[in-house]
Amino acid sequence: GDMSIENGATLTVNGTYNAKANITVKSGGKIIAGPNGKIIFDPNKGLIIDGNAQVNGTSNNRLTLDFNSSTAAGVEVRFYNALTMSYCNINNALIGINAEAASYINISNVNFTNCQSSGIVLFSFGNGDSNLPSSTSTISKCIINGSSTGISVVNADEVVITENSINNCN
């Protein structure tokens, strides 16, 4: 069944973990990289952010999220929730990160490879009716390679996009 990482819990990924179902990170939950941390998702399964969550590797231990889907987002930030992500690799999703009606993202040093449609999609993005503090979202120092669209932002309050590299996108 699906895995849920609850408030105050941390999933440390040491080695390769094969996810047969969705992984949901609730508010206050974290996923961090241990040595060679990699999650390989079954087809049409992904990472769901359902709260104010963190997903982080380090410059020496990147967390790899390998999706096997041509029909779903790899990382889905649900309505009025927030994601902080750094030092990760996102591979082979239809959309690397999809944040629709989300409140906040801080994405840095994330590599997106072969995300067919888009690396990052932000749609109807802002604080809205959320209880989360209003903050400026950022996308920085990311590499997006092999997507139709690198970064798509539609109907957003404010997003700062700096020092990214977008290659081989249509």
Tell me the per-residue pLDDT of 26-85, one tens digit each, with 9 for 90 and over. 999 999 999 999 999 999 999 999 999 999 999 999 999 999 877 778 999 998 889 999
**Mean pLDDT (the chain, rounded):** 90
Half-sphere exposure of 28 (CA within 13 A, CB side): 4
Which residues neighbour 102 within 8 Å (Cβ) at sequence distance 6 or greater? 77, 78, 79, 80, 81, 82, 83, 122, 125
Question: pLDDT digit string (tens) for 78-93?
Answer: 988 899 999 999 999 9
This prediction has a pTM of: 0.92
Place of tokens 């009606």: 101
> For residue 119, what pLDDT band results from cuts at 50, 70 and 90?
very high
